[in-house]
Structure 1
Amino acid sequence: MALKIERTDAHTWPDEQLKELFSDGFPEFITADRLVKDYTGRVGEWFAIPDLTLVDEHEVPVA
């Protein structure tokens, strides 16, 4: 499998691909934290520049 890293805003993926990517939700180490709900909405604002997506050889986001 060949993978590449892209800026998330450099590519638009179909909704069904993103639904598949996030279908399992966030890992337990994130959701178990009681403060996550207070901050998760701000992630895009605070970390907008390093927003990266791992893409496979078929241009499908995998992480």
Structure 2
Amino acid sequence: MVSGEHTLDPIVLVARSIGGGRVNVVGLRLPEDEEEAVPLTRRQKARRKLAEIWSSVAGV
């Protein structure tokens, strides 16, 4: 079974929820234009880091 992240050029396909041998939720991580990116607040940075940690622990 294939799970996790798969790069499609600059777009990343992310399996968010896997259960019963099936992918239930998928997402796309699109490239961001660095010039137009707004700096994240401390809260946003913390939430993103927690989401990354949870994804690695939960195996999603």
Per the normalisation by structure 2, the TM-score is 0.26
The structure where strand makes up a greater share of residues is 2
Per the normalisation by structure 1, the TM-score is 0.26
